Amino acid sequence: MASPILFFGLLALFFLAASASDPSPLQDFCVADTNSPVLLNGLACKDPKTVEANDFSSSGLHIAGNTSNPEGLSVASAQIPGLNTLGISLLRFDYAPGGINAPHIHPRATEILTVLEGSLEVGFVTSTPPNRLITKVLQKGDVFVFPIGLIHYQRNVGKTSAAAIAAASSQNPGFIPIANSVFGSKPDIPSDVLAKAFQVDKNVVNHIRSKF
């Protein structure tokens, strides 16, 4: 006889699997009608009779972005209304030498990244202690996967600028920047909570907070 633990374990796995991607479409496509006032999970569909090729297309991802900012990072997303409900999206990243895509989480998407130019150190951290860091240095043409929901980052470790293209398994992966979310929330997470969490003095917490 199967144990209750096994049963609930399998049940939990089922729900994990069921929530790990966007809902399956019930139609060929649902090109986003960005003018619709209707609020639902995703965007309302444009009349399929008015859909055209440009609804499924985007240009300009060959153009390097401006990385003159504190992180040394530029992010460009392929804006494609036809991706609505299809569970996928695409980004381009540019990194100045030493530039980073700071530790962050996509709560709704696994990400698969291909290096176009340069050398990128990438890494993600497993969810349960010992919170292992899985990391690697990638070169042009190398591909790396960041599993859904895990903290991950990239850093340009080359002497020249670097660029990458990444696809994500949601039309709306969500973005939780760790530092900004913890130290820059509005209103603040109480300082004594963060002081205990990070095992530092409240002044240290307030100093870090002042940067966000």
Q: Is 71 annotated as a binding residue?
A: no
Q: Give the bridge partners for 163, in sequence order.
A: 94, 117
- Should residue 68 be labelled a site residue for ligand NAG when binding is judged by CB under 6 A? yes
Q: Is 62 annotated as a binding residue?
A: no
Q: How far is the CB of 63 from ligand NAG (least distance, A)?
A: 11
Show the tokens assigned to 68: 């003159």
Q: Is 207 annotated as a binding residue?
A: no
Cα–Cα dist 180/150, whole Å: 16
Binding mask 95-134 for ligand NAG (x = CB under 6 A): ----------------------------------------
Closest CA to 177 of 134, 211, 135, 133: 211
101, 145, 168, 207 from 149: Cα distances, Å? 16, 12, 12, 28
Cα–Cα dist 61/92, whole Å: 6
- Should residue 24 be labelled a site residue for ligand NAG when binding is judged by CB under 6 A? no
Please return the burial class of 22, using the count of CB atoms within 10 Å of its CB with bins 0-12, 13-18 and 19+. Answer: buried
- Should residue 66 be labelled a site residue for ligand NAG when binding is judged by CB under 6 A? yes
Total residues binding ligand NAG (CB under 6 A): 2
In the complex with ligand NAG, the residue whose CB is nearer, 69 or 185, is 69
Which residues inside 147-206 make contact with ligand NAG, applying CB under 6 A? Answer: none
Summarize the annotated binding site for Mn(2+) as residue ranges.
Answer: 104, 106, 111, 152
Which residues of the chain form contacts with ligand NAG (CB under 6 A)? 66, 68
